[in-house]
Amino acid sequence: MKIAVVVQRYGEEVIGGAETLARQVAGRLVSDLGWEVDVLTTTARDYQTWANHYHTGWSEESGARILRFDSRRGRSRFFPRVDGPLASLLLALQRLRLPGSLLLRLERLWFTLQGPVNPELSRYIKEHRLIYDRFICFTYLYLPTISAVEIVGDDCVLVPAAHDERPFHFLTVQRLLERAGHILANSDPERELLLSRGVPEHKVSVAGAGVEGVDSERRAGGSPDRARRRMSDAGESMERPYVLYLGRVSAGKQVDRLIGHFEAFRRQADSGDMRLLLAGRLDDDFVLPERSWLEYLGYLPDERRDDLIAGAACVVNPSSLESLSLVVVEALAQGRPALVNSASPILRYYADEVETVLGYDDEDSFIEGLSRILSLNQRGEAQAKALEESRRWVEENYSWRRVIGEYRRTVMEKYPQQ
């Protein structure tokens, strides 16, 4: 099989759930199935500007060939101010039954202002579509995927990474869902969201994402003892306990609220020396307050990321807009509990399924949830049993063997002769 993976950004330094998933899937299609994979993407590293960063042309990573194109336009400097009002206006015009052709043109303005605009990538797909058996396109929200699905239609497997936000209800997205040959959701809640948009049940299945090491000898990163040894060798300390956030450090991920909730926790609860560690790329417009208990670690390589998860009192995900949370699943695989925002359906689903994931709705429930996790960490055998059950749940649902098996089944149903 020769597969084209289309995604808006791609690279080891790129931080983003959908982009990370695309990179992992591309590598696994090569290593596990022996397929040829070309990744078609932009040269951008930063989603806030879409500025051209990587070199254009071909390169290779983990057996997959990567073809990058410079974007003609990045994100408009006016987009942060017009994003919400324009999206609301477009939805209002949809309710007023504005003619579809006109509405689609107006929505294209929103997508163009958001960026990236990359006609060279689209041109390549038009000219070379017949050399690929199948296209796998990640993220519904950006023009590279929208254009790719418009071009290849039924030959596309769409991995939308959808959540219930305003652009998800655009007419453009409805047409995207209709035109794609098959849709792979990352979770049962995302599948239900897609079905609510009228996607036929037979057209959408759940693939999800795998956790490295679940079905191998590495077992998802290691142990707190090994983490302590590694960090001690690096001159760092894990003696002071910490809560860990991994991901984009931005208001969009509600990290500002997380900091406020944690500050309230320190005021009201017996927090001792508990710190809040933030790791990931910092958005340009996000200002971190100066607090003795708050540490920003920047972008981390995978090994140190694993160490921090293994040594954390718990991992926290404060975002309300998630289609998948790899960091929560990775924490469970390493035997660590998690505290999550219940406003996100997928995070609420984790909390419903797994005893060691607790949800919160506001500051008070955050304090209660974190206090409960810290007390559970002292329960010894009972807590160890709950954490082991969480590990088994991850193994059943998030092994790469199962995930890549679903990608293979989806593609091979379309091309049984292969």
Report helix, strand or coil for 301: coil
Within 13 Å of residue 179, how many CA atoms lie on the same side as its CB? 18
pLDDT, average across residues 18-34: 95
Q: What is the pLDDT of residues 31-75, one digit of tens each?
A: 999 999 999 999 999 998 999 999 999 999 999 999 999 999 999
Max Cα–Cα distance, the chain, nearest Å: 65
- pLDDT, the chain, mean: 90
Please give the single-letter amino acid code of residue 101: S
* Residue 214, pLDDT score: 60
Q: Are 155 and 135 in contact (CB under 8 A)?
A: yes
Mean pLDDT of 93-101: 95
369 pLDDT higher than 60 = yes
Reported as a single tens digit per residue, the pLDDT across 194-233 is 999 999 999 999 998 888 766 543 444 555 555 555 555 5
Cα 223 off chain centre by? 24
Backbone angles phi, psi at 239, to 5 degrees: -70, -35
Q: What is the pLDDT of residue 224?
A: 56
Peptide bond before residue 119 is cis, with ω within 30 degrees of 0: no
The pLDDT-based confidence of 418 (bands split at 50, 70, 90) is very low
Distance CA 100, CA 94 (A): 8
Query: What pLDDT shows up at residue 236?
Result: 53
Pairing of strands 156-159, 134-138: parallel
Residue 109 main-chain phi, psi, to 5 deg: -60, -45
Beta bridge partners of 317: 340
- In single-letter form, the type of residue at position 330 comes to E
pLDDT, position 413: 78
Render pLDDT for 284-316 as a digit per residue (tens, 0 to 9): 889 999 999 999 999 888 788 889 999 999 999
Is residue 137 over pLDDT 80?
yes
What pLDDT is attached to residue 285?
86
Domains 2-210+399-414 and 224-397 share a fold: yes
- Architecture label for domain 2-210+399-414: 3-Layer(aba) Sandwich (3.40)
Token pair, residue 26, equals 């591309």
3-state helix, strand, coil in the chain (%, to 5): 45, 15, 35
Residue 14: predicted pLDDT: 87
- Binning pLDDT at 50, 70 and 90, where does residue 15 land? confident
**Sign of the alpha-carbon torsion through 173, 176, 181, 185:** negative
Residue 261: pLDDT above 50?
yes
Residue 37: which H helix or E strand, with range? strand 36-42
Q: Where are the domains of the chain?
A: 2-210+399-414, 224-397
Looking at CATH, the fold of the domain delimited by 224-397 is given as: Rossmann fold (3.40.50)
pLDDT band, very low/low/confident/very high, at 269 (cuts 50, 70, 90): confident
Averaged pLDDT, 8-22: 90
- Predicted pLDDT at 416: 52
Amino acid occupying residue 25: V
pLDDT at 378 over 90: no
The pLDDT of residue 273 is 85
pLDDT of residue 223: 54
The two structure tokens encoding residue 302:
């995978």
Cα distance between residue 362 and residue 367, in whole Å: 9
Place of tokens 């239900």: 192
CA distances from 389 to 70, 152, 209 (A): 47, 43, 19
Cβ 308 vs Cβ 363: under 8 Å:
no
Residue type, 151: I
Q: Where does the pLDDT of residue 13 fall: very low under 50, low under 70, confident under 90, or very high at 90 and above? A: confident
Looking at residue 337, its pLDDT comes to 94
What percent of the chain stands above pLDDT 90?
A: 71
pTM here?
0.83
CB 249 within 8 Å of CB 299: no
Mean pLDDT, range 170-177, rounded to an integer = 97
* pLDDT of amino acid 383: 75
374: number of Cβ within 10 Å:
20
